[in-house]
Amino acid sequence: MRRLSTWLELAAPAALVVLAALLGTSASQSNQTYFIDTLVKVAIVVALYVFIGNSGVLSFGHISFVALGAWTAGVLSVPVAEKSAIMPNLAHFLHATAVGNVPSLALAAAAGAVCALVFGLPLMRLSGLAAGIATFAMLEIVHNLLRYYEKIGPGLNTFSSVPQTTGIGQATIGALIAVAVAFAYQRSRYGRTLRATREDPAAASATGISIYTQRLIAFVLSGALAGFAGGLYVHFLPLNTEVVYLDLTFITLAMLVVGGATSLWGAVVGALSVSALDSFLAAAENGVTIAGHTLDLPAGTRLVVVGVLMAVVLIVRPTGITGGREFHLPRRGR
């Protein structure tokens, strides 16, 4: 029975992802983009969960890993012939190389991990709350550099000509990989140790756990996942720096918090449910017809509704809609 409940922790979120993907394949071409977007967001939110959920420390900076992953995968997979058109100032060695889809995703993950290590070394030494706020510094630095440093990317321009390999298939596989890695981590010794520091930092350090090291390990792993998700993202949409900045930070944090930040199940449920709401509102901003009534919301309603939802969930049920617990079968009444 215990074995079964362990595997359900992995199987339940994975099944939800597959279910969303199956719904996506049956949707029309224009609606399918919403499903792909949702699956990429699942990967990002799971990456956030690996650090925030297990450590209890907030991070407003993970979108910088997504951005960096997107830039790495994007720059390296634009065909050499088209590079000078959109990135005229690109550094020479980047200009001459182009890699395939899968290597570009692996390199995106590597870039996210390296970036997380570099920033994590100083930031993870801070106390929990200060570390959370200081991750904003990371977001600002990466955003600022990607926006203006044209030797490593398109700068202010939009990333066009990246092969659009992230269809519903790749997005699903990507989200499943993220879920599997997060599961493996949380079952591992490191995941358990980090959760111990979350529950009681004083008791954890008293048993000889280095909070710094454990947080850093999770930070780097979730940086890698976020970079990987960024790679998926750039293969799906032509991004620019503003797409991978504060709005995405807000919406992904909202997903994690609404679902329940302390469980993988919560991260996936939150990402899927908020995405569903968000996609519906985005469509409604352009006008949708439901049962004969046309709903046409003014632009900007999306963020208002998601903001209200996030604030209300935090006030009424701070552990999120799943209660921050892993998926479990309902117990038989005794």
Partner 1 sequence: MVAILNIDWQTLADALALGGIYALMAVGIGLVFGVLRLVNFAYGQLIMAGAYALAFGSEWNLPVWVSILFCFGVVLVLSVAMDRLVFRPLRGHAPAVMLVATFAVAYLMQSVALLWFGSLGTIATSLAPLNRPWDIGGVEIRKIAIVSVLVAAACLVLLRLLLDRTSVGLHMRAASMDFLTARMIGVRANRVIGGAVLISGGLAAVVAVMMTVQTPLVTPDFALRDTIVVLAGVVLGGMNRPVSATLGGFTIGFASGLLGGALPTGQSQYLDSFLFVAVILVLLVRPDGIFARSRGGIERV
Are 165 and 100 in contact, with CB atoms under 8 Å apart? no
Which one of 14, 94, 303, 321 is in contact with partner 1 (CB under 8 A)?
303
**Whole-Å CA distances, 245 to 88, 107, 217, 270, 273:** 24, 21, 24, 20, 22
CA proximity to 38, closest of 272, 225, 235, 261:
272
State the nearest-atom distance from the C-beta of 209 to partner 1, in Å: 14
Site pattern 72..111 for partner 1 (x: CB under 8 A):
----------------------------------------
Transcribe 308-322 into DSSP letters: HHHHHHHHH-TT-TT
Are 231 and 109 in contact, with CB atoms under 8 Å apart? yes
Find the binding residues for partner 1 in span 23-52 (CB under 8 A).
none
Stretch that binds partner 1, among 66-74, 147-155, 173-181, 268-276 (CB under 8 A): 147-155
State the nearest-atom distance from the C-beta of 270 to partner 1, in Å: 13
Residue 202 is a binding residue for partner 1 (CB under 8 A): yes
Residue 298 is a binding residue for partner 1 (CB under 8 A): yes
CA proximity to 35, closest of 27, 46, 44, 45:
27
Residue 132 is a binding residue for partner 1 (CB under 8 A): yes
Tell me the site size for partner 1, rule CB under 8 A: 50
Which one of 257, 264, 274, 281 is in contact with partner 1 (CB under 8 A)?
257
Q: What is the 3-state secondary structure (H, E, C) of 187-220?
A: HCHHHHHHHHHHHCHHHHHHCCCCHHHHHHHHHH
Which one of 98, 160, 180, 250 is in contact with partner 1 (CB under 8 A)?
250
State the nearest-atom distance from the C-beta of 117 to partner 1, in Å: 13
Are 121 and 46 in contact, with CB atoms under 8 Å apart? no
Which one of 125, 152, 167, 173 is in contact with partner 1 (CB under 8 A)?
125
Stretch that binds partner 1, among 56-64, 73-81, 220-228, 273-281 (CB under 8 A): 56-64
Q: Helices marked H in 243-328 — which ranges?
A: 246-259, 264-285, 301-316
Residue 280 is a binding residue for partner 1 (CB under 8 A): no
Residue 308 is a binding residue for partner 1 (CB under 8 A): yes
Residue 136 is a binding residue for partner 1 (CB under 8 A): yes
State the nearest-atom distance from the C-beta of 304 to partner 1, in Å: 5
State the nearest-atom distance from the C-beta of 14 to partner 1, in Å: 27
Are 159 and 166 in contact, with CB atoms under 8 Å apart? no
* 259 Cβ contact partners less than 8 Å away, ≥ 6 residues apart: 45, 265, 266, 267, 268, 269, 270, 271, 273, 274, 320, 321, 322
Footprint on this chain of partner 1 (rule: CB under 8 A): 56-58, 60, 119, 121-123, 125-130, 132-134, 136-138, 140-141, 143-145, 147-149, 201-202, 246, 250, 253-254, 257, 298-304, 306-308, 310-311, 314-315, 318
